[in-house]
Amino acid sequence: MNAVTPQRTAAPAPVGLLAELTHRCPLRCPYCSNPLELDRRSKELDTATWQRVLTEAAELGVLHVHLSGGEPTARQDIVEITETCAKLGLYSNLITSGVGGALDKLQALYDVGLDHVQLSVQGVDAQNAEKIGGLKNAQPQKMAFAEKVVALGLPLTLNSVIHRGNIHEVEGFIDLAVTMGAKRLEVAHTQYYGWAYVNRAALMPNKAEVDRSIRIVEAARERLKGQLVIDLVVPDYYAKYPKACAGGWGRKLMNVTPQGKVLPCHAAETIPNLEFWYVTEHSLSDIWTNAPAFTAYRGTDWMQEPCRSCDRREKDWGGCRCQALALAGDAAATDPACSLSPLHAKVRALAAEEAAENPPDYVYRTIGSNVRSPLKEEIPL
């Protein structure tokens, strides 16, 4: 580590906008990244406001729009919103569960210029997948949806969130992606915030399983070069260094919630005393540059040791603020997923302990259940 005085980093233009169009979703995944208190339909932004937000995003320099949720096709105006992206020259990525009305809307989405589809798959075995997603008969709907995506010639990415309930299926996810004709597969080990934090003990795999899954992915990457790209997100609790969460706070991404609150990352609302601005009251450009929630952890000025003098501080930007809060009780602390954090050994031990116990039942994602984390009494570490 070099002792260098950190410099304030200017805000670069955001590359991506995550448009959480709705929190409504037919699935109830126990690792959902949506907040525990989900927005109700009556609070959702209307079509004209989303179109204005997208226009402002394009002006700001955003290149990619991720149409997400919840399930974005639950919005009646998903086709109009997608068409707006196309007209503005924004690359649109539909992040979908492929169930409910998704298939019925796919042709119209293609016709107005949808660029890419990212389909979630909860498991390979239908029974297991439907247990994880909490919805019967979901798997055949997903398969039919994927088939149509590929038939239309749209690039398809499969997203599999990995945890102890499906880590034995990593080979199967790879075979499924090849069979479906996907261009890309995300093997994304669960990140423990949002609903996944509540369900951490039910989801945490053990280290041997994690290592095996990484070996399988590495071998498949070699074997399938030129046919399938596999992105691997390793589980934070077992990593040496954390990832640059959201690409670094306030550096690459804006996340607009269904009711128009703008967040630097999915879970930012878990950090107390952050002031979030709404698209109904401020322009996107003003929010990006000046909103207190965005400036709070942008750059390196806010860092404490060991991040403050670490060579990697502009690579991973100190890891995840939300995880630092959840585990260390301080959002400005070094992410305890980092091996240089004084809390790292405790995090490792906690993961090993939870993975060794019988998994509790899932707490399924639902609107209005007023769920509170059963882990609260264990933190900070």
Buried b (16+ CB within 10 A) or exposed e, 209-240: bbebbbebbeebeeeeeeebebebebbbbbbe
Query: Do 91 and 116 meet the contact criterion of CB atoms below 8 Å apart?
Result: yes
Q: Which two structure tokens, joined as six digits, stand for 178? A: 């090849």
Query: Do 183 and 22 meet the contact criterion of CB atoms below 8 Å apart?
Result: no
Distance CA 222, CA 321 (A): 34
236 binds ligand SF4 (CB under 6 A): no
112 — alpha (psi -120 to 50), left (phi > 0) or beta? alpha
For ligand FES, the closer of residues 89 and 272 by Cβ is 272
Distance CA 82, CA 94 (A): 9
Question: Stretches 76-84, 269-277, 334-342, 371-379: which one binds ligand SF4 (CB under 6 A)?
Answer: 334-342
The binder of 216, among ligand SF4, ligand FES, none, by C-beta within 5 to 8 A per type, is none
Q: How far is the CB of 343 from ligand SF4 (least distance, A)?
A: 11
> Which of 70, 72, 242, 260 is close enough to bind ligand SF4 by CB under 6 A?
242
312 binds ligand SF4 (CB under 6 A): yes
The binder of 64, among ligand SF4, ligand FES, none, by C-beta within 5 to 8 A per type, is none
HSE (CB half, 13 Å, CA atoms) of 235?
30
For ligand FES, the closer of residues 148 and 189 by Cβ is 189
Q: How many residues bind ligand SF4 (CB under 6 A)?
A: 14
Give the single-character DSSP code of 38: P
> Which of 74, 170, 182, 310 is close enough to bind ligand SF4 by CB under 6 A?
310
The binder of 245, among ligand FES, ligand SF4, none, by C-beta within 5 to 8 A per type, is ligand FES
For ligand SF4, the closer of residues 178 and 381 by Cβ is 381
Contacts with ligand SF4, residue ranges (CB under 6 A): 241-242, 306-307, 310, 312-313, 316, 318-319, 334-335, 338, 340
